[in-house]
Amino acid sequence: MIAILIKSFIGNINGYKNIKKIIWLCMLIPVFGIAKEKPTVVYTPLELLEMTVTNKIPNSETPVLDKFDSSKMLFNECKSIAKIVISNFSNAYPTVIDVDSSTHFKVRVGSIDEVFTLECVNDEKRVYRAKYKPKSN
């Protein structure tokens, strides 16, 4: 719908009335964007602190690779970084080590609004992010 509105306005950009229409269109874009997104599940710092006792992270959506933070990296260097992440965050955030072998290491850390996964495998550092699934009542 937004694409149709943009095409109709771009074809007639001249004069004050069309500028007002463009401004109106720009004001609509955030409304349409907000309407389509699912509500974000958020955990309070206190809830996260309570989760550290059991180191259980709530269910999340399918993790998405964060290409910006992922990179080629030697396994031992990546695992060293992962251990630093664990030591810095495990006191306040639930932290789960899913895989710990000589060739593969994977840790998940629950944050306020998403699960952060750091994986070291095949001389790569892979970072994933996943939003929480809705809380069950």
- How many other β-carbons are positioned within 10 Å of the β-carbon of residue 66? 13
Query: CA 112 to CA 48: how far, in whole Å?
Result: 7
To the question of pTM greater than 0.85 for the whole model, the response is no
Q: Where are the domains of the chain?
A: 2-36, 45-131
Helix count and strand count (H, E) for the chain = 4, 6
> Going residue by residue through the chain (137 aa), what tens digit of pLDDT does each one get?
333 333 343 444 445 455 454 444 444 444 444 444 566 899 999 999 999 888 889 999 999 999 999 999 999 999 999 999 999 999 899 999 999 999 999 999 999 999 999 999 999 999 999 999 998 76
110: left (phi over 0), alpha (psi -120 to 50) or beta: beta
